[in-house]
Amino acid sequence: MERPDRSPLVAAAVVTAASFVLLGMAVSAGVTAGFDSRVTEWVRMPALAWLQPVTEAGSTPAIVAVAAVVLVVGWLTGRWRDAMAGALAIGIGALAVELIKLVVGRARPDLLDPALVETGFSFPSGHTANATVAYGVLAWLIGRATAWTVAGIVTFGVGLSRVWLGVHHPTDVLAGWLFGATVLLLLAALNRPAPPGPGEGSAHADRAGPRSDPPVPG
């Protein structure tokens, strides 16, 4: 059986991972302050106040619920192993985010009027990263364009909501998206099914199809 070509997915994962690392270095060096300030001023406009409840889509209870849905979908579709791998990716991704926060040690935004007060470190945004992984895994398992569209809208909204609430810098959110994309690309690369080998489909069809009667001697 021919092995699947995973190189495009791996290459894309390398690009997103490298971008994540470079962004972390830029944040640690303090060169993103101007960008963060300008984007924060734009996102925190009153017209975007509807984003406040959207942030709950990236909360721990929501992510746990999505992981449970992933397992159910895997059982219903017969993709149990993929569902287990996806749920594992959600859990490992969430743990990795917390470890990265400790390594980078970036403080939360220092705003005079945050809509929400949270403790802990800021880079990357856990809500954003976890939402990107969880909803992306669910979309990957469903395998439909509509599912990917909904997942993209939700994760984008969660990211913006973290900036609007004043609990994350824009670069924290960008890092969360990059981290989540890296996890999803690696998951897809490691769990991509191999295509049928040459002639495998026709051979199967021949076995299932009608056979002619053997020649009669004489």
pLDDT in tens, the chain (218 residues): 455 677 889 999 999 999 999 999 999 999 999 999 999 999 988 888 888 899 999 999 999 999 999 999 999 988 899 999 999 999 999 999 999 999 999 999 987 676 677 778 999 999 999 999 999 999 999 989 999 999 999 999 999 999 999 999 999 999 999 999 999 999 999 886 544 444 444 434 444 444 445 555 54
pLDDT at residue 110, as a whole number? 87
- Alpha carbon distance, N-terminus to C-terminus of the chain: 43
Q: Which of 154, 189, 193 is nearest to 17 (CA)?
A: 189
SS3 of residue 176 by DSSP: helix
SS3 of residue 188 by DSSP: helix
Rounded Cα gap, residues 28 and 32, in angstroms: 9
pLDDT at residue 201, as a whole number? 43
Q: Which of 150, 6, 10, 158 is nearest to 69 (CA)?
A: 150
pLDDT at residue 169, as a whole number? 95
Whole-number Cα distances in Å, 79 to 90, 167, 183, 184, 187: 17, 38, 19, 17, 14
HSE-CB at 50 with a 13 A cutoff on CA atoms is 3
Rounded Cα gap, residues 162 and 51, in angstroms: 9
Residues in CB range of 14: below 8 A, 6 or more apart: none
Helix-, strand-, coil-residue percentages of the chain, each rounded to 5: 70, 0, 30
- Could you tell me the two tokens for 192? 């991509």
pLDDT at residue 197, as a whole number? 43
**Residue ranges of domains in the chain:** 7-192
pLDDT at residue 180, as a whole number? 97
